[in-house]
Amino acid sequence: MKQTFEEADKNGDGLLNIDEMYQLLHKMNVNLPRRKVKQMFQEADTDDQQGTLSFEEFSVFYRMMSLRRDLYLLLMCFSEKKDHLTVEELGNFLCVEQKMPNVTGDYCLDIIDKFETLEENKQKGILGIEGFTNFMRSPTCDIFNPTHLEVNQDMDQPLCNYFIASSHNTYLTGDQLLSHSKTDMYAWVLQAGCRCVEVDCWDGPDGEPMVQHGYTLTSKITFKSVVETINKHAFINNEYPVILSIENHCSIQQQKKIAQHLRDIFGDKLDVEAALSKDPKQLPSPNSLRGKILIKGKRLPTHLSEDAEEGEVSDEDSADEIEDDFKLRNSTSNNLSQHQVESHIRKKLDSLLKEAKIGDKEDTDSFSIRALLRATHEGLHRNLGKNSKEGLKKSHSRSFISGIKPKRNSRSRLKCQSVDTDDEGNQDVYGRELVGMPNRAGRRRKTIKLSRDLSSLVLLTNSLAEHEDLEEGGTGNVLSFSETRAQQLVHHRAGEFLRFNQLQLSRIYPSAYRIDSSNFNPQTYWNVGSQLVALNYQTEGRMMQLNRAKFMVNGGSGYVLKPEPMCKGSFNPFSDDPLPAYPKKQLLLKVISGQQLPKPPDSMLGDRGEIIDPFVEVEIIGLPVDCCKEQTRVVDDNGFNPVWEETLSFTLHMPEMALVRFLVWDHDPIGRDFVGQRTVAFSSLMPGYRHVYLEGLTEASIFVHVTVHDVYGKWSPLVLNPSYTIMHFLGANKNRQLKGIRGLFNRGTTKTLVDTGLPVRKRSLSDHLLRRTASAPAKGRRKTKMTLSEVTEERKYSTGEALQAQEVAVGRRSSPRAALQHRPVSMPLERLLQGQLNLTSPDQERPDPITDTLIVEN
C-alpha cells in the first residue's frame, strides 16, 4: 500500500489530492462515480478538511474502497447475524465449508490472533470483517492444496510408473540458432524441479569436449563446467535422482575425457549397483536412487568382445539433426567471409519457413516465424558485425548449417562442417563424417563410434533408435522420439505405446523445426504414459505453465506418480468412456468475483488505457474426452472488484490426469486481451471458498467456490447447488437461516427483507456495502446502480410478503418435480442488494434431496 501511495504522489509532497486520487483509481481499474469518490475522500480526510490525504488517511480510504460484499455476506451467513465470527462459528465454517479436518479451538484462536486487526477483537476472541478478509486472502485459503507443497506420493514404485520433469537443450537461453549457452541454465532448471537435463557434447579445442547446439551459431561452454554445475545444484532442495541425457557427437579420445570428468566430479553419485540388484526385472524406485546421477546414453552391444575398446552404435535419436529426410551437405572452404556465413543462415531460415510447422496450434504464446526471422537478422548483425576473424574467434568456433537438401541416394553420407581458429587466428574448416548402414527395414541407420569407457557408465538408461519395435529391449532401455514420430505412435499405436511405458521409459523431444524453441503440448504424451516429455524450459508460455502445474502436485520433486490404470492393465485414452468401471468426478466451480485485476500486459496505452471489461475462462486439460472450456459473462469497466456469480460445471473421467486452467481476459470489440492465468492440477484443488492468485501478479486474484462430487453409473449433465453445505449448516440451527444468502447462489430467488436492526461494528460499514456500485451486467444489459435512498425505500417492504413468497416456494419444493435440466444456479449480486436479508426466518427448512444430491442413470 505504501508503494501505491508513493507512486500516486506525483509531486512528492507526501499528500494525495483529489485529482491524484482520480488518476490512481483509473490506474487500478476502479470505476466509481466522481460523487462517490469525493464522498469517500471527505470521510477519510480527518485533518480539518485540508483537501489532501496523508498515508494514514489514504489507508482508511483504501480500506473503505476495498470492503468486499461477497466476504461480508459470507461472514454474516456463519455468524448468527453478527459482523464477526466467534471461535465456534469460525470452526464450523472451516469444517463444514472449507472441509478442513481436525479443526480445534486453539487453531481458531491462532487464526484470530494472526489475522484480526483490532486488539479489542483479539481480546474477545472474535474475527471481524477485516480479519476475516485477511484470512480468506491468505495462503491458507488458496486454491492449491498446501500439503502438495511437500512430497506426498508413494516414491517406492519403479521409475516407469512416474512422470519425470525433463528439459530439452537445457544449456540454451533462447532460440536454437543464435542464442547463448550458459551453465546457469542447469542450475536454474534443477532448482525448478527438473530431473532430466540434456547435454549435447561435441569435440572442442585442446582435447576438452564442448556443449553446444550443433550446426548453428549458438555459443559453446565446456562439458566440464556443465558437469560441475550439475553436481553443485542437483540436490540442493531435491534429493531425488537426476537423469543426465548425453547426446554424444565426440571422437573416441574426447569421449574418454567425458567419462573421466563424469567419474571425477560425480564420484559415488554414479554408483547405482545397490538399487539395480534389488530386482533386476524391474526399474528401481526414486527412493532407492536418492542422491544419484543416472547417465542416459548409448551402450555398446552385448555381442561385442569385452576386449574391444570401442564399437559402432546407432546415432538416430539425436534431436539436433533436421529429421531423416534431410542431410547436411559437405562444403570445403578455408576462407569464409561474413557475407557468406550470413547468406547461408538466411537461406536456411527461408527454407525452414517454407518446410516447417513452427509451434503448436494450442500454444498461443509461441513466437511467430516472421518475428524470429527479424530477430535472427538483428542477431546476425550483432554477432557477425565485427570482422570475420574477431567474430569467429569470439564464438569459440561455432559451427553453421552448410546445406539442407532431400536425400536421394540409397547410401547416405553425412558431413558437418565446423570452423575453428588456432592460436594465431587462422581459420580452418574440417569435417566429421557419419556413414549410413542399412537396417532391417531397408532404411539407412547413422552410426557413431562409442568408447567403452563412456558406455560402461550407462548402467540404467540406454537410448535406442527411434525405429526399434516397442516390444524390444529390457527394463533399462529408453526409447527416444521426436514429437513428429511420437505423434504418429499416439495416433496409430496408442495402446501398444501405453503398454511399453508400463515397463520401460520413453522420452519425447521437440521437433528440430522448432528453431524458436517453442514447445509442444505435453499432455498429449502424458496421456499415453510417456515419462520423459522434454520441453524448452527457457521459453515461457502455455506449455511450460502446464508442465509446472503437473509437477507441483508432488512437492515439485520432478516425479509424479501415474494413475493406477496407466501402470497396469490397459485402457484407451481416446475412448469416450476410457474407464467405465471407475467413478467419474463432477467439478462445480462458482466464479464469484475478482480482485485488483490489472490492465493487459500488452496494452498499448499501459496504465493510461481504458478500464478493462474482464471475464473468466476455465479450461480442463486432460484426456481428450475431458478437455473442454467454459467462461463467465463480461463485467463492464471494473478490474478492481468485478462480480460474476456464475457456476461452471465439468465432468472428468480420469481426474488424476486433469489440469484446471483459470484465465482472465479483457473483452474488446475486436477480440480479447490476455490479463493473467493460473493452472492447477485437479488433484490439488481445495474445496470450499478459495482465492486463485494469478501467476506472476502479486495481488490479482479471482474468488471461487469449489465443489467435487463422485458420479456413478451413466453420467447425466446436472448442475448442483454449490451452497448446499452452507444451507444445510444453517438449516441445522433452529431459526438461524440467513435467507438472503440464497440470492448469492441461486437465480430467481424471491425477494427478502433487510433487517434494519442488523448489528454491525460501524454504521459506515453497512452504508459502504449498500452504496457500492453493483456488478456490471453482461454486454448490452443496462447497468443498475442503487443509491442509499433507494436501498432505504426497499426496506419498506413488509415481512408478510416475504414469508408468503417463501411458503409458496416451500410448497413448490414439496410437489412432484420434473427432471433436472442443465442451468446456471447463480444470481447477479445487484439483484441480491435490491433484495433484503431476512434474519427472522420461518420454520426450519430441510435440504431438498432432489436438489442437493446427485442423480444418475443406471
DSSP H or E segment with residue 22: helix 18-27
Nearest by Cα to 776 from 611, 627, 663: 611
Place of cell 546415432: 315
Residue 46's SS3 state is coil
Cα–Cα distance, 181 to 216 (Å, whole number): 12
Cα–Cα distance, 360 to 364 (Å, whole number): 8
Cα–Cα distance, 534 to 515 (Å, whole number): 15
User: Which residues, other chains included, contact 569 with Cβ-Cβ below 8 Å and sequence gap of 6+?
Assistant: none
CA 574 to each of CA 214, 236, 471, 626: distance values in angstroms, whole numbers, following the listed order = 38, 40, 22, 10
The cell for 659 is 489440469
User: Which residues, other chains included, contact 102 with Cβ-Cβ below 8 Å and sequence gap of 6+?
Assistant: none
**Contact in structure between 192 and 558 (CB atoms under 8 Å):** no
The cell for 297 is 546414453
DSSP H or E segment with residue 666: strand 659-668
Q: For the range 297-302, what are the long-range contacts, defined as Cβ-Cβ under 8 Å and sequence gap of 24 or more?
A: 297/245, 297/246, 297/248, 297/454, 297/455, 297/457, 297/458, 297/461, 297/462, 297/463, 298/248, 298/448, 298/450, 298/455, 298/458, 298/462, 298/463, 299/450, 299/455, 299/458, 299/462, 300/450, 300/452, 300/455
DSSP H or E segment with residue 731: helix 724-731
- In this structure, the number of other CB atoms found within 10 A of the CB of residue 708 comes to 16
User: Which residues, other chains included, contact 472 with Cβ-Cβ below 8 Å and sequence gap of 6+?
Assistant: 464
Secondary structure of 202-256 in HEC code, one letter for each residue: ECCHHHCCEECCCCCCCCCEEHHHHHHHHHHHCCCCCCCCEEEEEEECCCHHHHH
DSSP 94: I
Cα–Cα distance, 633 to 779 (Å, whole number): 8
User: Which residues, other chains included, contact 202 with Cβ-Cβ below 8 Å and sequence gap of 6+?
Assistant: 209, 210, 211, 212, 214, 220, 249, 250, 399
Residue 497's SS3 state is helix
**Contact in structure between 327 and 315 (CB atoms under 8 Å):** no
Cα–Cα distance, 592 to 704 (Å, whole number): 5
Secondary structure of 276-345 in HEC code, one letter for each residue: HCCCCCCCCCCHHHCCCEEEEECCCCCCCCCCCCEEEEECCCCCCCCCCCEEECCCCCCCCCHHHHHHHH
Q: Beta 614-621 vs 659-668: how paired, if at all?
A: antiparallel
User: How would you class 247 by CB atoms within 10 Å of its CB: exposed for 0-12, middle for 13-18, buried for 19 or more?
Assistant: buried
User: How would you class 299 by CB atoms within 10 Å of its CB: exposed for 0-12, middle for 13-18, buried for 19 or more?
Assistant: buried
Residues facing residue 702 across a β-bridge: 594, 692
DSSP H or E segment with residue 585: strand 584-595
DSSP H or E segment with residue 481: strand 477-482
DSSP H or E segment with residue 589: strand 584-595
Catalytic residues: 168, 213
DSSP H or E segment with residue 492: helix 483-492
Cα–Cα distance, 121 to 451 (Å, whole number): 74
